[in-house]
Amino acid sequence: MIIVLMGAPGAGKGTQADMLTDQVGYRKISTGDALRKHVKLGTPVGKQAADIMARGELVPDNVLLDVLREEIGSNPKEVVVLDGYPRNLTQAETLRQVVEGVHPVRGCVHLDVDRSAIVERLSGRRVCSSCGTSFHVSANPPKKDGVCDKCGASLYQRPDDDAKSISVRLDVYDRSTEPVLDYYRQRGLYCKVNGAGVTDEIFRELRDAISTCLN
């Protein structure tokens, strides 16, 4: 069963998906994380994706299809939280076809956050180079500057978290990704969760919204 987690860049999808994994046991698939792993390892996919990602544009759909197939698995009982896919209508249709019969999409939960908060969140974000945990320079700083609280590895700023790429990513979101919300709305699968405020409260609302989708 698949739950599609949607929201603008910086809406907190990654953080919330990690909490769903740790606290509820759902499996998270993040296409952004998967692509960054390919980039780090220098695979053919990574070589194709690196510059596109740094600019904040979308990696081609056929590349994403390979990544999706690699990650999705075939256990129909498992609850999979999909973070970062689909990002356009073509991908939404691809997902439906790829998972048909095995992993039905049971809901699309939209983590809704104000545009003004988003730029602030992304530009102050720092990410662990080893475990991927996100921090924020002022809202959620690590105990020791530049060091991950969880695993002690060094923090870095994602190349696409600079002002220019942030603006491209938000444009891409408005143009290509937002129509996907309507795609799921028309299929009766859409629900919205307020993504502003305290992480734990957002988490509770999100967890309840997902339970409703799964019932």
User: Given the rule CB under 5 A, which residues bind Zn ion?
Assistant: 128, 130-131, 133, 148, 150-151, 153
Burial class (CB in 10 A: 0-12, 13-18, 19+), 215: exposed
Q: Specify whether the CB–CB gap between 119 and 100 falls below 8 A.
A: no
Q: What is the largest CA-CA distance in the chain?
A: 48
Binding track over 52-91 against ligand ADP, x by CB under 6 A: xx--xxxx----x-------------------xx-x---x
* Residue 115 annotated in active site: no
The one catalytic residue in 28, 36, 87, 121 is 87
Q: What is the DSSP letter of 161?
A: G
State residue 102 phi and psi, 5-degree precision: -95, -55
- Separation in Å, CA 5 to CA 112, 140, 195, 211: 11, 22, 12, 13
Tokens of 191: 């629900």
The one among 16, 31, 94, 134 contacting ligand ADP by CB under 6 A: 31
Q: Which is nearer to ligand ADP, 10 or 107 (CB)?
A: 10
Is residue 35 within the footprint of ligand ADP (CB under 6 A)? yes
32 binds, among ligand ADP, Zn ion, none (CB under 5 to 8 A by kind): ligand ADP
* Residue 144 annotated in active site: no
Q: Which is nearer to ligand ADP, 12 or 107 (CB)?
A: 12
Catalytic residues: 13, 87, 125, 158, 169
